[in-house]
Amino acid sequence: MVVGEFSQDVDVMVIGAGPGGYVAAIHAAMLGKQVTLIEKGELGGVCLNRGCIPSKALIAAAHRHEMIKHSEDIGFSVQGVHINWDKIQTWKQSVVDKLTSGVGSLLKSRKVQILEGEALFVSPNEIRVFKGYEVQRYRFNHCIIATGSRPVELKAFPFGGRILSSTEALSLQEIPKSLVIIGGGYIGVELGQMFAKFGAKVTVLEGAERILLGFDAEMTRWVERRLKKSGIDVYTNAKAKEAIQQDDQVTVTFETGNETKQVTADYLLVTAGRVPNTENLGLDVAGVKVNDRGLIEVDNQCKTNVPGIYAIGDIVPGPALAHKASYEGKIAAEVIAGHPSIVDYKAIPAVVFSDPGMASVGLDENLAKEKGYEVISGKFPYAANGRALSLHDSEGFVKIVAEKERGIVLGAQIVGPEASNLIAELGLAVEMGATLEDLALTIHAHPTLGEMVMEAAEAALGRATHIVSK
């Protein structure tokens, strides 16, 4: 082992090159800081290489396959559709490679120094970077920890063989004929529907009383109906007990109600959440406080309890979302540069690339009432929107929740096509304190899905044009 005799001095050290870390590095460099970025794997982190991007590429391919196969209603009869899975995987990887290459170019253009290796704190202002047998020491003025998270591994269902995490599922060399999924959250639903559209028989086991528990039940019912229609078996209040692997299959035993059942499939996919990557960093040596969930506690400027050390993304409290990590990375960089920036989580959108898609921002009706608001809401169905009907995809709704007296928009929920894109306008409305009148009086292009935002605002005000008002 070769260790540098002296520590090299750096201004801003960023540990982790995921959507939090690389954005923090770029932003700090844009603000005039000299930045060093450490990454043990690929630029872009899990999101870009093994999560958000590859999964959405496969989901898009699966949706296109389903559209080709089921277009009889609008006059197309297609037979003999062939799936070239190897080519789909190659295309998926090309998308990832383009984006990782782009991240590298952006970092280079900002003169960010990139180090490959693993970081270990040896004091509150010094780390060692390990790469193979080489070790180099660095002393920093500021450090942003952005090490992300990894899939939870259940003791009864260790990853390996035919028991997969989402990482292995996205890189399967074959389309499974059958698949069991433990976990009915957004990852389980997204990947379950994707494989089902490619022809797999999918079974979802969810321990709670319903799937997608973090979303409004009114929204998830649309997804539940589509799951049933597509032949996906969903068991709620289900507890997986054991999995027995054989050479070409795995048998899962689970309890639901008072019954014990078994299901055999090609693979078992475990999507039971994610765990922060905060161990093996030497945080105890640095004096950084970590709670019992492995999360680093930070203030509203992303500062830890140790001066000069910041933490962002999946390793701090709050939803594990890539866009939250990027946002926090910018805030941390600005604070380091001397700006009076603070985090404001009022309008963090949450999106599920299910079918139909789901998105929400701000408060739903129940949460708004719990917080003491007197609320009004307006809902507009996709079925009454001309663009949705012309797309032959008209299931779902746009709902806006507002404070009753002044009409200030508190939140919104969307389930239906392009929900992930439509939520942006409503996120802006929540962020800027817009009112229902603001949305209703904004001229929206016709025919578009975006018109439903205007129509939902009008519905809340009791003057909807294209539906019968209450």
* Residues contributing to the annotated binding site for FAD: 56, 147-149, 314
Interacting residues of 179 by C-beta distance below 8 A, sequence separation 6+: 192, 195, 200, 201, 202, 203, 265, 266, 267, 268, 269
User: Annotated binding site for NAD(+), which residues?
Assistant: 183-190, 206, 273
- Cβ atoms within 10 Å, residue 111: 9
Which DSSP helix (H) or strand (E) runs through 26? helix 21-30
Q: Are 191 and 57 in contact (CB under 8 A)?
A: no
Q: Are 308 and 320 in contact (CB under 8 A)?
A: no
How far is CA 215 from each of CA 149, 239, 318, 364, rounded to the nearest angstrom?
A: 22, 21, 15, 9
Phi, psi of 35 (to 5 degrees): -120, 135
Which DSSP helix (H) or strand (E) runs through 283? helix 283-286
Spatial separation of the C-alpha atoms in residues 161 and 246, rounded to whole Å:
9
Return the SS3 of 334: helix
Q: Are 48 and 99 in contact (CB under 8 A)?
A: yes
Does the annotation count 446 as an active-site position? yes
Q: Would residue 401 be called left, alpha or beta, if left means φ above 0 and alpha means ψ between -120 and 50 degrees?
A: beta
Locate tokens 């942006």: which residue?
424
User: Annotated binding site, which residues?
Assistant: 56, 147-149, 183-190, 206, 273, 314
What angle (nearest 5°) sits at the alpha carbon of residue 90, between those of residues 85 and 94?
145
Which of the residues 70, 339, 392, 446 is marked catalytic? 446
Q: Are 103 and 44 in contact (CB under 8 A)?
A: yes
- Cβ atoms within 10 Å, residue 135: 16
Please give the positions annotated as active site: 446
